[in-house]
Amino acid sequence: MQASDQQYPRGGSVGVSQQQLLPGVSRTFALTIPQLPEPLRTSVTNAYLLCRIADTIEDEPTLSARQKQSFHDRFNVIVAGEGEPPSRFAADLYPMLSETMSADERELIRQLPGVIAITHSLPAKERAALERCVRIMCEGMPWFQRNRRQGGLDDIFEFERYCYYVAGVVGEMLTDLFCQYSVDIAHQRERLRALSVSFGAGLQMTNILKDVWEDRRRGACWLPRDVFQQFGFELCDLSEAHYDPAFGAGIQELVARAHGHLRNALAYVQLLPPGEVGIRRFCLWALAMAALTLQRLNANPAYRSGSEVKISRRAVRATMLSFGLAAGRDTMLRRLFDWAARGLPLRSVDCTVVERRQVRV
């Protein structure tokens, strides 16, 4: 079926169950978000679904850069509670989705009016945090889509900026939501805010490294050229037919940088009150699974697909159990994280200089 052959099936419900939509678009967050206390669980689930809608627009290969810009602009206005009815937006976007998109992603777009209805039912301060996150994502992602190329991003600064727009800003949003939920957490706002970008960036860098080959098959490369050039490798020469150790050296350098972000994210978690074990588990499970993925990437830089470095279900269960039990104990957490990240190279990242640079759109 071509994207233009699809029809928008009516029936998106205002009473949509976010919990039913979530597992289809993220297995990881379907595990971690239920650990959050209410009302955080509702607002964070809604925030993640909004981000996935923005990602779906970005990832649809049949849309031109101009079409993606238009859909992102319209979506941003809708989230802010202005402009056209959400049902009209969904009816325009749904037929444009190709079969490269999963049935769950298409269902998310079909149910978009219900997701937006929940957004608009949230308290004003929570809505403002979500609106800011979506606005920044929808500002940055189209710029990178228009300028994407198989030869990679220009340098490590552009790489960090890309990670900010697609994930670092989510760390900032979560910090705002956590501070609104708890006065005790709000007392740490400045220190948390300084580390929040690393929380999202570490997870995103891990995903970029894991998905290098899948992205390349879609005509994209989000790796920084200068990191690989220092080892004598040009990303435009990347080939599945031949492994170059210089490419592997570049991957390991980025593993070290992602590890640095995850270390900052662990410090972020330890600033949260030990009694808030649900919020800590939400953060910790994602960080620990990213560290284990980095281990597999570092041990096998000649991988050819994300499935080769994906952690097993057994490892996921063990991670959830061990980090879940240690969530309120900082000394045990440090030891567990050291175990999860054992053998990884480490490059420290100063969060205060990983700042967002505005792009011209």
Q: Based on the structure, what is the number of domains in the chain?
A: 2
Domain annotation covers residue 2:
no
* Whole-number pLDDT of residue 218: 82
pLDDT (mean) for 36-57? 95
Q: What is the pLDDT of residues 103-143, one digit of tens each?
A: 999 999 999 999 999 999 999 999 999 999 999 999 998 88
Same domain, 201 and 339: yes
- Taking each helix axis from N to C terminus, what angle separates 65-79 and 112-121, rounded to the nearest 10 degrees? 40
Q: What is the pLDDT of residues 310-339, one digit of tens each?
A: 999 999 999 999 999 999 999 999 999 999
Domain annotation covers residue 6:
no
* Whole-number pLDDT of residue 147: 80
Domain annotation covers residue 96:
yes
CATH number at residue 322: 1.10.600.10
Task: Out of 157-161, 214-218, 272-276, 353-357, pick the least confident.
Answer: 353-357
Amino acid (one-letter) located at 256:
A
CB 153 within 8 A of CB 215: no
pLDDT (mean) for 173-202? 96
- Global pTM value: 0.91
Q: Which residues of 178-208 are buried (b: 16+ CB within 10 A; e: fewer)?
A: bbbbbeebeebeeebbbbbbbbbbbbbbbbb
Same domain, 87 and 38: yes
Q: What is the pLDDT of residues 247-280, one digit of tens each?
A: 999 999 999 999 999 999 999 999 999 999 999 9
* Whole-number pLDDT of residue 9: 55
* Whole-number pLDDT of residue 253: 97
pLDDT at 38 over 80: yes
User: If you search the block for the tokens 């050039």, which residue do you land on?
Assistant: 229
The Cα–Cα gap between 125 and 173 comes to: 11
What's the longest Cα–Cα distance across the chain?
A: 57
Q: Cα–chain-centroid distance for residue 185?
A: 23
* Whole-number pLDDT of residue 81: 94
Domain annotation covers residue 278:
yes
Three-class SS of residue 20? helix
- H helices of the chain, in order, are 18-25, 27-32, 40-59, 65-79, 86-93, 103-110, 112-121, 124-146, 156-163, 169-181, 183-186, 189-210, 212-217, 225-229, 245-271, 277-299, 313-325, 330-340
Same domain, 234 and 100: no
For 36, the domain range is 16-124
Same domain, 66 and 159: no
Q: Which of 124, 140, 165 is the last residue of a domain?
A: 124
Same domain, 118 and 163: no
pLDDT (mean) for 144-160? 88
pLDDT at 4 over 90: no
DSSP secondary structure string, 165-231? IIIIHHHHHHHHHHHHH-HHHHTTHHHHHHHHHHHHHHHHHHHHHHTHHHHHHTT---SBHHHHHTT
* Whole-number pLDDT of residue 320: 94
* Whole-number pLDDT of residue 351: 66
pLDDT at 102 over 80: yes
pLDDT at 145 over 90: no
CB atoms within 10 A of CB 324: 14
Domain annotation covers residue 346:
yes
Q: Cα–chain-centroid distance for residue 134?
A: 13
Class of residue 240 by CB neighbours under 10 A (exposed 0-12, middle 13-18, buried 19+): exposed
pLDDT at 7 over 80: no
Three-class SS of residue 99? coil
pLDDT (mean) for 158-166? 94
Same domain, 198 and 336: yes
Mean confidence (pLDDT) of the chain = 91
Same domain, 115 and 152: no
Domain annotation covers residue 8:
no
Q: What is the pLDDT of residues 198-210, one digit of tens each?
A: 999 999 999 999 9
Same domain, 178 and 236: yes
Domain annotation covers residue 139:
no
Considering only residues 142 and 173, tell me which one the structure prediction assigns the higher pLDDT: 173
CB atoms within 10 A of CB 347: 14
* Whole-number pLDDT of residue 5: 45
Same domain, 327 and 222: yes
